[in-house]
Amino acid sequence: MLVLLTPAVCMDSGLMELLSSYDDPLMTSLDLAFLLVTHGFDATPADGYVVVVTGNATYTLMPNKERPGLADILTNTSETTCMAFI
């Protein structure tokens, strides 16, 4: 049996579930930060985006308007890279 280790981005599953569960084309970064804080995330609104810190990962979320979900997620991969078995 051959097991390969490849890097994969470790995304917070609770955050991903929350962001993909709803659509709101009118949501602003302030609205998004408020929603995340009420669900227990460390979220800070900034100029048009939200910074979320979970564990040792930092995510930048941009409200995505008409597209499905609430936000597009940008990550700092040097902080969120892990090893996954495939």
Tell me if 32 sits within 8 A of 71, measured CB to CB.
yes
DSSP assignment, residue 86? -
CA distance 8 to 10: 6
Is the pLDDT at 23 greater than 60? The verdict is: yes
Query: Model pTM?
Result: 0.74
Tokens 């490849």 correspond to 6
Model pLDDT for residues 24-75, shown as the tens digit of each residue: 999 999 999 999 999 999 999 999 999 999 888 899 999 998 899 999 888 6
pLDDT (0 to 100) of residue 78 = 45
What are the distances in angstroms from CA 25 to CA 37, 58, 74, 81? 20, 24, 19, 30
Tokens 């609430």 correspond to 70
Tokens at 45, concatenated: 């609104």
